Structure 1
């Protein structure tokens, strides 16, 4: 790749022009115009999960580098790129904090705080990678019992205190199940009709990973038969063409935005930018990354005494309440069922993570807990 490379980058990736203009001639695209903009002169393509990157898209171009600012990779044909000399990279783990915060925020927005104490529940985590392990860490610090299922993790990788069980045992024992597996041929419809039917009445099932980990048609059929389970879905089969039947019946539904905090997006784009620099054999560039972040609505608060579940819910929802996204999307969907999924994602407002707020504590236990789960905590 001689001289300044030609870079095409998704228009909805933040900080794109500020960063990538430093190493090449950068142009933005959306999925409607991408085919027209690709050419023999295109050297580098930077995408999100909404762009399917395969032979059909890039065969007759000059692309030698594809970067995806996402942790998932099921939207790209890695094998074809590898066999055809196209370097591929993704931002593994960039959205872990954002997804974990979404899961906890969503749960706290739905439970009846007078009768439902998370500390009394068993929380099953399916998939123990970047997100599943971070979720367990947060939950354990909150005093919540966790059990784990991961079919691809070998026993030698497991650490002391981690309780791994079979899928059948996890479904039987868990009051809440959260899915964080990658999607491949072995995990497709991991939650099939039999597994879904085995989930107990009024248990909670959360999917923030990939839509096809749950057989959406089987889930709809069970609902039709009168199955009573509570569903939180951020991901759906056949996105953006989702099941309207499920949409009307989930406890909380959002259009694949669990990992959409501005910090998550920033981590993703910086990871790809750094990998591109290495690919181009350029000297690493250092940035004050915090200067890219917007000023949060709430910067500093004071917390008196120890933290209970209601205090935690109030604190978390001061920053982000997943139920607000669910409510707004449903309103948008009522007006435009065809386009609401993509419109909501493409126009998603700035969302900060828990680390955006400084909590001053006069209680040592509160200070310790909040610091462990990602807040900027200070002891008074």
Structure 2
């Protein structure tokens, strides 16, 4: 790669031109017309999960670096790139905080706080990587019992206090199940018809990972048979061409935006920029990253006394309520079922994380709790 490299980057990646123009000649692309812009002169490609990067896309190009501003990698053919001298990297863990906040926000928006206390429930976490482990930490901080299933993690990697069980035991014991596994041939349809049918009546199942971890057709069939299970889906099989039957029956549904906080996007793009800088053997660049973030709607509040579940819901929803996204998407979907999935994602409004608000507490237990789960807490 001689001189300034030619960079192609997805137009929906924030801060793209401002950052990548510092190291190369940068152009943006629309995923639908990407193939027309690729050429022998293209050196670097930066994508989101909607772009399938494989031999067919990049074989006859000059690409030597592919970066994905996502934590997942099932949209790229890593083996082909490795064998053909194309360096690949992704933004591992960049969306963990955003996804965990989505799960808790979505859950708190759907339960009856008078009759459903999370501290009395068992929360099953399937997949114990960046997101699953952070979710466990937040839930345990809130006093919620968690059990875990991860067939990839060896017993030597497990830490004191972590309760690992079989899939069958997790399904049997959990009042709420949240899926955070990666998708590969071994986890495809991990939640098949038998597993789904074993989930107890009115239990809650949440998927924010990959759509094909749940057999959507089997789930639809069980609904048709009268199975009573409460579903929160952010990911779907065959995105963006989702099951209309499931769409009409989930308790809360969103179009793959759980990890879409602006902080998450910023972490992803900065990770890839820094890895590209290293790949190009350039000197590291430092940035005041906070200057890229917009001013939050609510910057500072005062909290009086201890925090109960309803207080926590109100505080969290002051910043982000996942049910609002579900409602807006359903309205959009009614008008345009063919394009609503991609249109909602591509025009997603700025969403901040809990760390965007400063909470002044006059109760030490509130201060300690909120600080643990990501708020900027101050003790008065």
Normalised by the length of structure 1, the TM-score is 1.00
CA distance in 1, matches of 2:32, 2:202: 42
In 1, Cα distance between the equivalents of 2:186 and 2:137? 27
Q: Provide Cα deviations, 1:187-234, integer angstroms capped at 9, x if missing partner.
A: 000000000000000000000000000000000000000000000000
Task: Give the distance between the partners of 1:334 and 1:199, measured in 2 at CA.
Answer: 30
Equivalents in 1 of 2:245, 2:20: separation in Å? 42
Aligned-partner Cα distance in 2 for 1:184–1:318: 37
Following superposition of structure 1 onto structure 2, how do residues 143-154 of structure 1 map, counting pairs within 5 Å? Answer: 143-154=143-154
Partners of 2:260 and 2:120 lie apart in 1 by 30
1:256 is displaced (CA, Å) by: 0.1
- For residue 353 of structure 1, report the CA deviation from its aligned partner: 0.1
Report the alpha carbon displacement of residue 135 of structure 1 after superposing the two structures with TM. 0.1
Regions of 4+ moved over 4 Å: none
Let me know the Cα RMSD of the aligned residues.
0.2
* Rounded Cα–Cα distance in structure 2 between residues aligned with 1:262 and 1:97: 11
Tell me how far apart the structure 1 counterparts of residues 2 and 311 of structure 2 sit (CA, whole Å): 57
Q: Deviations over 1:240-285 (max 9, x none)?
A: 0000000000000000000000000000000000000000000000
Indicate the residue corresponding to 1:297 in structure 2: 297
Structure 1 residue 290 displacement after superposition? 0.2
Q: Where do residues 11-26 of structure 1 align in structure 2 (5 Å cutoff)?
A: 11-26=11-26
Q: Distance in 2 between matches of 1:84 and 1:290?
A: 38
Which residue of structure 1 lines up, in the alignment, with residue 81 of structure 2? 81
1:1-380, aligned counterparts within 5 Å? Answer: 1-380=1-380
- Alpha-carbon separation, structure 2, partners of 1:151 and 1:248: 33
Counterparts of 2:2 and 2:372, CA distance in 1? 47
Q: CA deviation at 1:32?
A: 1.4
Helix, strand or coil for the counterpart of 1:269? helix
Q: Deviations over 1:22-70 (max 9, x none)?
A: 0000000011110110000000000000000000000000000000000
Where 1:298 maps in the other structure, the secondary structure is coil
CA distance, structure 1, for counterparts of residue 272 and residue 158 of structure 2? 30
Aligned counterparts of 1:158 and 1:227: Cα–Cα separation in 2: 35
May I ask how many residue pairs the two structures share in their alignment? 380
Find the residue that maps to 1:205 and give its secondary structure. strand
Gaps of at least 5 residues in structure 1 are none
Where in structure 2 are there 5+ consecutive unaligned residues? none
1-structure distance, mates of 2:265, 2:344: 16
1:304-323 residue CA offsets vs partner (Å, 9 max, x unmatched): 00000000000000000000
What does the per-residue CA deviation read over 1:60-103, in whole Å, with 9 as the maximum and x for residues that have no partner? 00000000000000000000000000000000000000000000
Deviations 1:350-371 (A, max 9, x none): 0000000000000000000000
CA distance in 1, matches of 2:3, 2:189: 47
* Partners of 1:32 and 1:188 in 2: CA distance: 27
Q: Secondary structure of the equivalent of 1:27? A: strand
